[in-house]
Structure 1
Amino acid sequence: MNLPFKKRILIYAFGNPGRQDDGLGNRLVEELEPWLREKGLDNVELESNYQLNIEDAANIADKDIVVFVDASVEDIDDFHLGLVEPSEGRSEFTMHAASPAYILALCIRLYQKHPETYLLQVRGYEWEFLEELSRKATQNLASALAFIKERIVSGDFQEFLSED
């Protein structure tokens, strides 16, 4: 698949696959990988981890678009795409070591780079110590996966931000 201008995109999932639906982001990256290979989309990098760390500021510095993907306990539809604004506050409420907003702020401060950054939250329901997704979360994953594929091909995430 040849695109006129290939934006450098990073899809970065974080969560714990051993806690049922907390692994939604990780699963999205797993399922996206063969599709990217099949389509020849070598401008898209995938990353998956249990949590974000300050070192991730370096990982996003050379990207045009960064999409962090995480499971959500919030009362959202299947998924929600939001713009990430930089924030120096590490103490934002998050179950992870650092928030996407903090990683973006570090990237700007340390590397003087400001990639277009989003958070794709996929609704989860079950959080037990199991390595399988709940049925409803699996359906939400399918919707989020179709959405992210469309956005990767178009290179446009801004137009499809969820309304708050």
Structure 2
Amino acid sequence: MTRACPARPTPLARCRCRSSFLMLPATWSTARHNRCEDKAMLLIGYGNPGRGDDGLGPAFSEGMSARGLPGLEVDTDYQLVAEHAFALSEQDIVIFVDAEIGGEDSFSFREILVGTPDAMGSHSLTPRTVLSLCQTLYGTAPRAYVLGISGYEYGEVKEGLSERAKANLAEAEAFFLDWQAEQTSNLELAHA
């Protein structure tokens, strides 16, 4: 009769760029580490493209994805859910992009901090709640920002943005491209 050798605990490795991110050595590869070195910035555009201007978030993320910006990972979704907290845990910076109802300007941009999460429901979560979940579940949270793009037509079931929303989208894209280039430069200095 042969006896099985007791399994030894698998040691964990730390990514040099993200001291709080632990991973099993078998999953720690050069490709994975290069992603850290390529700057970890995530953009999540969310909303419903089938509800007129509510599709501003997805339209923004699709536009940024098509540009293939270095150091920027792009995600598009209908709504924020608890599973997004894991994606945030691997990032240095996250930008949530959504349509904004009643905005006075073409877009708004603000930083959000980890704090008391907004009310949690089963339908969708707010950016602050996802950020707080990330901190609670993974012990880390990225710098986080919300880019709200003003929209005007939400009531009907229709695809496509209103002309005013398209103009706001273009202004938000121009702002973001400048901001993202500056942040990428800052991250390169921090990771050097």
Q: Which range, TM-score by smaller chain? A: 0.7 to 0.9
Q: Deviations over 1:16-54 (max 9, x none)?
A: 000000000100111112212xx5x1x210001000000
Matched, 1:136 2:164: yes
- Superposition misfits of 4+ residues, deviation over 3 angstroms: 87-90
1:13 aligns with 2:45: yes
Q: Is the contact made by 2:61 and 2:74 (CA closer than 8 Å) also made in structure 1?
A: yes
Shift of 1:150: 1.0
After TM superposition, list the pairs within 5 Å mapping 1:21-40 onto structure 2: 21-36=53-68
SS of residue in 2 equivalent to 1:155: helix
- Paired residues in the alignment total 146
C-alpha separation between the residues in 1 aligned to 2:59 and 2:100? 14
Displacement of 1:6: 4.6
Task: Tell me which residue corresponds to 1:83.
Answer: 111
Q: Which residue of 1 aligns with 2:127?
A: 100
Indicate the SS of the match to 1:18: coil
Aligned match of 2:34: none
> What is aligned with 1:117?
144
1:7 deviation in Å?
2.9
Matched to 1:44, the amino acid is: L
- Partner Cα separation in structure 1 for residue 117 and residue 131 of structure 2: 11
Instruction: Look at both structures and tell me which one has the larger radius of gyration over its CA atoms.
Output: 2
TM-score normalized with structure 1 length:
0.83
- The percentage of counterpart residues that share the same residue type is 36
Q: Which runs of 5+ in 1 are unaligned?
A: 157-164
Structure 2 CA distance, aligned partners of 1:9 and 1:22?
Answer: 24
Contact persistence 1:88–1:106 (CA under 8 A): no
Q: CA RMSD in A?
A: 1.8
Consecutive unaligned residues in structure 2, runs of 5 or more: 1-36, 185-192
Q: Contact 2:102–2:152 (CA<8 Å) still a contact in 1?
A: no
TM-score by length of 2: 0.71
